[in-house]
Amino acid sequence: MTNDLLGRHRAVLPDWLALYYEEPLELTHGEGRHVWDAQGNRYLDFFGGILTTMTAHALPEVTKAVSEQAGRIIHSSTLYLNRPMVELAERIAQLSGIPDARVFFTTSGTEANDTALLLATSYRRSNTILAMRNSYHGRSFSAVGITGNSGWSPTSLSPLQTLYVHGGVRTRGPFASLSDDAFIAACVDDLKDLLGHTRPPAALIAEPVQGVGGFTAPPDGLYAAFREVLHERGILWIADEVQTGWGRTGEHFWGWQAHGRNGPPDIMTFAKGIGNGMSIGGVVARAEIMNCLDSNSISTFGGTQITMAAGLANLNYLLEHDLQGNARRVGGLLIERLRAVAAQVPAVREVRGRGLMIGIEITKPGTDEADPQTAAAVLEAARQGGLLIGKGGGHNTSSLRVAPPLSLNVAEAEEGAAILENALRSIQ
């Protein structure tokens, strides 16, 4: 049946719509941190639908909220008052840390970043954007135009002029050998030099931890140092929290808070986990920025009653059960366990990350050369062992991505680490 579905998929869907595994999976249901395929095989899920299943599969509180809302009204558009949307916007505005915040809901992270770019370029009257190397911000025309990862950027055409900045990847590039403080200083000097050669940009957009880029991150404080340079020139800072938001990094509720000595970003985007699988994205910005557009706009499917009900229930569960703290505790144990394994596997260049956002970079042993074939082999071996993980990274996609639901317990973390250990050892 799966082969039949694969044939039908290939007959009607684009060739560039990626599928994992040599024999792609059809997932039919899930519960907690586990999912099942059409053949009845059970897997421990360490990727959560690309970080969207933030709390757990089939979380009763969320499914109940969705079911009850569906029995009342599912959708009305933003042309009418929407109580669940207002309630979730109030919660997010307060949690954002942005003063006098306004919230606009979308259906995805791509659309959220699109909106942030529209706001920044309109507010600043500039179409120049600073972005990070190895970055990813979505699939739309404008988001692709600021993506600093060639594997996810199918065209160089763009409505924006994009300038790429050093700093998103700590252990590669011309500053990799420096100490953290010297690395930050060198990146700041490079930014200042870049700004001396261009017309004033509208904004810098940056993921606090690069998601598709392989869960890479700069030293804490880099974006705070960038912010000082940007603020002096009136340039906005957009924090892309699509993958880092809602406590995934464990240490902070938002990724920007690791760089927050100068206050919150001017604009922040979010998506993925807030709906626990429901399609929610959005933008938070200061009122003067959010309100700078001088024409009418709506969002037909952004902020629908049913997705907002899911978001409210999911956010309440996440906060009431301190899943951020759980990500810190269980994620800390998991990353140390994986580092101990990786020390014995020459193909693992680095295990990095924080909380339940962990990257394992695979290279040809003794070199910095990417080895996407070996990374793919580990992905397959983990699946055979009953574990689903992701992959990503620049340099030809040679990083494995580990991002389970934030309710992961210690026993499940150990089980997943043991499967990953066997998968990594199998490639030697």
Distance, in Å, from the CA atom of 106 to the CA atom of 311, rounded to the nearest integer, reads 13
Q: Encode pLDDT of 75-93 as tens digits.
A: 999 999 999 999 999 999 9
Fold agreement between 2-59+322-425 and 64-320: no
Query: How large is the average pLDDT for residues 96-113?
Result: 97
Task: Give the position of tokens 């869907």.
Answer: 13
CATH number for the region 2-59+322-425 comes to: 3.90.1150.10
Domain 64-320 CATH (choose: 3.20.20.100, 3.30.390.50, 3.40.640.10, 3.65.10.10): 3.40.640.10
Distance, in Å, from the CA atom of 158 to the CA atom of 161, rounded to the nearest integer, reads 7
Task: Give the start-to-end residue ranges of the domains of the chain.
Answer: 2-59+322-425, 64-320
The two tokens of residue 289 are: 């920025």
SS3 for 177? coil
pLDDT confidence band for 151 (50 / 70 / 90): confident
Q: Encode pLDDT of 226-279 as tens digits.
A: 999 999 999 999 999 999 999 999 999 999 999 988 889 999 999 999 999 999
Q: Encode pLDDT of 160-206 as tens digits.
A: 999 999 999 999 999 999 999 999 999 999 999 999 999 999 999 99
**What phi and psi, each to the nearest 5 degrees, are found at residue 363?**
-135, 170
Between CA 10 and CA 14, with CA 13 as vertex, the angle to 5 degrees is 100
pLDDT confidence band for 397 (50 / 70 / 90): low
How far from the centroid of its chain's Cα atoms is residue 186's Cα?
Answer: 26
Sign of CA dihedral 422, 378, 218, 314: negative
Sign of CA dihedral 256, 393, 338, 347: negative
